[in-house]
Amino acid sequence: MKPWLCLFLLLPLVAKADKVLVTESFEETDTTVHQGKKVSWFSDEKGSINVVNDPGLASGKAFKGNKIVGILPFVLLSNPGDSITVSFTFRLAGPMVATQRGFKLGLFEGGDPNSPWFFAAGTGYRWNVTTGPEPFSATLAKESGGPGQKVLAGQDTTVMDQSTKRFAINDTAKHKATIKIDIGADGNLHLKLTIDDWSFASTDLLPPPQLSPNDFAIRSDDNAFLFDDFKMEIKQQSGDNSGM
Task: Say how far apart CA 24 and CA 138 lie, in whole Å.
Answer: 27
**Alpha helices (H) in 135-175, listed in sequence order:** none
Half-sphere exposure of 152 (CA within 13 A, CB side): 23
What pLDDT sits at residue 47?
Answer: 73
Which amino acid appears at position 55 of this protein? P
79: buried, middle or exposed (CB in 10 Å: 19+, 13-18, 0-12)? middle
What pLDDT sits at residue 114?
Answer: 61
What pLDDT sits at residue 146?
Answer: 64
Task: Say how far apart CA 63 and CA 227 lie, in whole Å.
Answer: 5
Q: Which pTM value belongs to this model?
A: 0.87
| Residue 106 · residue 152 · CB < 8 Å | yes
Architecture of the domain whose range is 19-235: Sandwich (2.60)
Task: Say how far apart CA 111 and CA 145 lie, in whole Å.
Answer: 8
What pLDDT sits at residue 56?
Answer: 86
| Residue 150 · residue 118 · CB < 8 Å | yes
Q: What are the extents of the domains in the chain?
A: 19-235
Torsion of CA 148, 212, 75, 63, to 10 degrees: 40
Half-sphere exposure of 164 (CA within 13 A, CB side): 2
pLDDT values of the chain reduced to their tens digit, one per residue, 244 residues: 544 444 333 334 443 457 888 998 999 888 888 888 889 888 876 678 999 999 888 778 999 999 998 888 989 999 999 999 999 999 999 899 999 999 999 998 876 656 655 544 457 899 999 999 999 999 999 987 766 667 777 677 889 999 999 999 999 999 999 999 999 999 999 999 999 999 999 999 989 888 999 889 999 999 999 999 999 999 988 654 444 4
